[in-house]
């Protein structure tokens, strides 16, 4: 089964994950075949375990090091997933080129492209050191032989779904092949010390293809995301045994490869039309990084098929909740028309801190009147229409002041901000809408 459940005979539906048609036949291997030879079975005092080998090694890509908590750990196995064409191979080529120049031999196992194809694609990432080696191979024994022969500091396998072990009868990409190849490569990393990065395909739903326990085998799972129609790319750690998983790495896809974004808030707000109806700037926290993002809303009359709802980068359930609160506690019948809401730049706003900004964008679009261009909204909206403070308010306010915003709409219980910011406090959503400083009162009247 894709989820890793074993059953003794054929069944149509998995008894664990309830998926249909996911059963794959496996040949039982001899017991002890997967044991790691030469390893001691004697316990040792935990206080005396040497931690020096687990020190991270910088990759030379600042945004990637931010997500990894400093860099790659020798002997670690990292799984990088993302949609086709999102830039996974380009990013890893840059990592290998940087680390080959500083850390010694690095090896790229290209199982989907020939060596000349890789060379043509690598021409745009800059100078290629002689320590960067490439091998176009899909056979697991040949890959293991290459790792033994060159002893790389970092090895990238692109991709794990195209690698096959000849002693397993199933085709490459099957549940059995992916799991077995990942286990063998993980064992090689732990025993011989190279940091191994596996590139993984994703399904239509955006999840990693292959068995579910593939994510449990590796040490780190990275997700590379982005809208194909935007240059912005986002790197997140879904799982990381050597550090936190809350950090966000931001890249811009250019002709020269992936370029780290030092000032993401400036990028998100670069094309903003100041004071436009339905436009509000909100703050988001990704890891320790505050981001300012523009939220746009459009409200129109419903067609013959009933009101439409469209949410890009925003949880549709959260949008429905805010429409209900505006209807019930602010007496605004916005929900009876077509409603379109979007987080500009391909960002996903999942935290409740954007609630107040989304609600104000809906009100502004409905009234056809823009908010002050120097205003930022911060706050969670409750079911009773009350405004609730959110974590890391001080860091959000500091970022807003840095980018030139002078007014912040926030809950009455929120802490004070740095000098230079005018705080517009309110206890409920209808108080915010009625505040004359936002310029919506005359439109509402």
Domain extent listing, the chain = 55-261, 267-444
Name the maximum alpha-carbon separation found in the chain.
Answer: 80
In this prediction, residue 99 has a pLDDT band, given cuts at 50, 70 and 90, of very high
What is the pLDDT at residue 160? Answer: 93
pLDDT digits (tens, 9 = 90+) for 320-344: 999 999 999 998 888 788 999 999 8
In this prediction, residue 32 has a pLDDT band, given cuts at 50, 70 and 90, of very low
Give pTM, 2 decimals.
0.79
CATH value of 267-444 in 2.40.50.140, 3.30.565.10, 2.60.40.420, 3.30.230.10 = 3.30.230.10
pLDDT digits (tens, 9 = 90+) for 139-190: 999 999 999 999 999 999 998 999 999 988 888 888 889 999 999 999 999 9
The hierarchical CATH code for the domain 55-261 is: 3.40.50.300
Distance CA 9, CA 23 (A): 10
Is 445 a residue whose pLDDT tops 50? no
Average the pLDDT over each of 133-137, 168-172, 295-299 and give the range with the smallest value. Answer: 168-172
What is the pLDDT at residue 41? Answer: 64
pLDDT digits (tens, 9 = 90+) for 53-93: 568 899 999 999 999 999 999 999 999 998 888 999 999 99
What is the pLDDT at residue 293? Answer: 95
**Mean pLDDT for the stretch of residues 334-361:** 91
């Amino acid at each position: 089964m894709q989820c890793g459940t074993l059953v003794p005979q054929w069944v149509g539906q998995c008894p664990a994950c309830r998926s249909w048609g996911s059963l794959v036949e496996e040949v039982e291997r001899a017991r002890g075949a997967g044991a790691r030879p030469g390893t001691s079975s004697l316990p040792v005092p935990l206080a005396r375990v040497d931690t020096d080998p687990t020190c991270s090694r910088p990759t030379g890509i600042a945004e990637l090091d931010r997500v990894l908590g400093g860099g790659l750990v020798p002997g670690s196995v990292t799984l990088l997933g993302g949609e086709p064409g999102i830039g996974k191979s380009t990013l890893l080529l840059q990592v290998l080129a940087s680390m080959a120049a500083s850390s010694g031999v690095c090896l790229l196992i290209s199982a989907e492209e020939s060596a000349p194809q890789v060379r043509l694609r690598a021409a745009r990432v800059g100078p290629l050191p002689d320590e960067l080696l490439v091998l176009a191979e899909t056979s697991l024994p040949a890959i293991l032989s290459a790792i033994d022969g060159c002893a790389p500091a970092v090895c990238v396998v692109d991709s794990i779904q195209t690698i096959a072990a000849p002693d397993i009868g199933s085709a490459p990409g099957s549940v059995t092949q992916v799991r077995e190849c990942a286990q063998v490569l993980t064992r090689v990393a732990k025993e011989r010390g190279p940091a191994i990065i596996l590139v993984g395909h994703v399904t239509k739903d955006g999840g990693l293809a292959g068995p579910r326990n593939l994510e449990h085998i590796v040490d780190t799972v990275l997700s590379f995301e982005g809208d194909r129609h935007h240059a912005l790319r986002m790197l997140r750690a879904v799982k990381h045994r050597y550090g936190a998983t809350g950090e966000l790495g931001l890249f811009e896809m250019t002709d020269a490869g992936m370029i780290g974004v030092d000032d993401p808030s400036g990028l998100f707000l670069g094309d903003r039309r100041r004071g436009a109806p339905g436009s509000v700037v909100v703050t988001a926290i990704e890891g320790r990084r505050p981001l300012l993002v523009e939220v746009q809303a459009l409200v129109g009359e419903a067609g013959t098929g009933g009101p439409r709802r469209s949410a890009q980068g925003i949880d549709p359930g959260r949008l429905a909740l805010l429409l209900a609160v505006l209807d019930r506690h602010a007496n605004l019948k916005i929900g009876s028309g077509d409603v379109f809401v979007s987080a500009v730049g391909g960002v996903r706003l999942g935290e409740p801190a954007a609630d107040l900004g989304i609600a104000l964008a809906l009100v502004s679009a409905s009234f056809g009147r823009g908010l002050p261009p120097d205003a930022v909204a911060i706050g969670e909206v409750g079911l009773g229409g009350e405004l609730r403070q959110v974590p890391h308010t001080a860091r959000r306010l500091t970022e807003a002041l840095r980018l030139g915003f002078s007014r912040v709409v926030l809950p009455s219980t929120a802490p004070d901000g740095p000098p230079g910011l005018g705080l517009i406090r309110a206890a409920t959503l209808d108080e915010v809408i009625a505040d004359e400083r936002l310029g919506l009162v005359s439109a509402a009247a």
